[in-house]
Copies of this chain bind each other. A is one copy, B any other.
């Protein structure tokens, strides 16, 4: 049996009791290590689970899935995913490959950022299409996701923006020279995402288009959702450029146009204080 087990969002203890029991009795346990991270590392997980974990990066899961699935028809193999196995990233490819090999699978669900963002008080059923914001480079500055934000706002829907994660990246030099030396991991902050968004707004104005959002659009920045030290800040897109949310992972919500009074009351709990570097709080909106 292939078990796809969600680890939730905070630390080692966010696994479910059911998930932990399975982890402890599987013959091999893989940890998917490229779409998200917990606030604790592999060692903390290994200590709490009492099991050695085999780190699986994107390359391995995509190219060496057969290794992961080896003997899973006669023994139990666990594949651990931060959040939920079918959350932000689906692991459909692994499931389909298992099915073709006649290996049954089971999913042990957990919280993912896709549902845990509800903790800021915005109603989950009012979220439209989720978008991803990637790190821009000097030569690659995609803006196409912005159309989805626009469509969501036109329909009064909030937009969850998942922010880029770069792990196991090689510098151009190391890549060319075939050296398997990797850069330190990078996680996009709410500040960086907001700055890129504002640049798109400026570009649209230069082109004479009416941008779907402005500096004053109400946004919510979230960091380390589900962890003891999670931080949520509600304020304008402009404020999101400077608000300090600390360590990764960060996510950003661009609110839809119409906000229910109960949603607004909840957001006011996370309003950026008046005396911070930015002067406008959501209470003034």
Q: Is the CB of B16 within 8 A of A110?
A: yes
Q: Is the CB of B128 within 8 A of A129?
A: yes
Q: Nearest Cβ distance between residue A173 and chain B, in whole angstroms?
A: 35
Q: What residues on B are CB-neighbors of A17 within 8 Å?
A: 12-17, 20
A275 within 8 A of B: no
A174 within 8 A of B: no
Q: CA A263 – CA B86 in complex, angstroms? A: 12
Q: What residues on B are CB-neighbors of A93 within 8 Å?
A: 262
Q: Name A82-135 residues within 8 Å CB distance of B.
A: 84-88, 90, 92-93, 95-96, 99, 107-112, 114-116, 118-119, 121, 123-131
Given A87-B124, A129-B155: A265 and B92 interface contact (C-beta under 8 Å): yes
Given A14-B18, A96-B265, A266-B96: A107 and B119 interface contact (C-beta under 8 Å): yes
**Which residue of the partner chain, among B112, B124, B155, contacts A155 with CB atoms under 8 Å?**
B155
A263 nearest CB neighbor, chain B only: B92
How many chain A residues touch B (CB < 8 A): the figure is: 56
Q: Is the CB of B130 within 8 A of A157?
A: no
Q: What residues on B are CB-neighbors of A20 within 8 Å?
A: 17
Question: Which of A14, A84, A109: most chain B CB closer than 10 A?
Answer: A109
A43 within 8 A of B: no
Q: What residues on B are CB-neighbors of A10 within 8 Å?
A: 18
A52 within 8 A of B: no
Q: CA A151 – CA B157 in complex, angstroms? A: 12
A226 within 8 A of B: yes
Chain A contact residues, CB within 8 Å of chain B: 6, 8-18, 20-21, 84-88, 90, 92-93, 95-96, 99, 107-112, 114-116, 118-119, 121, 123-131, 151, 155, 157, 225-226, 262-263, 265-266, 269
A–B Cβ pairs within 8 angstroms, 25 of them: A8-B109, A9-B109, A10-B18, A11-B18, A13-B21, A14-B17, A17-B17, A17-B20, A84-B116, A86-B124, A87-B118, A88-B124, A88-B125, A90-B121, A90-B266, A92-B262, A96-B262, A107-B119, A109-B115, A111-B115, A114-B114, A115-B115, A125-B129, A129-B157, A155-B155
Closest 7 CB pairs of A and B: A86-B118, A109-B111, A125-B130, A13-B18, A115-B115, A13-B17, A109-B116
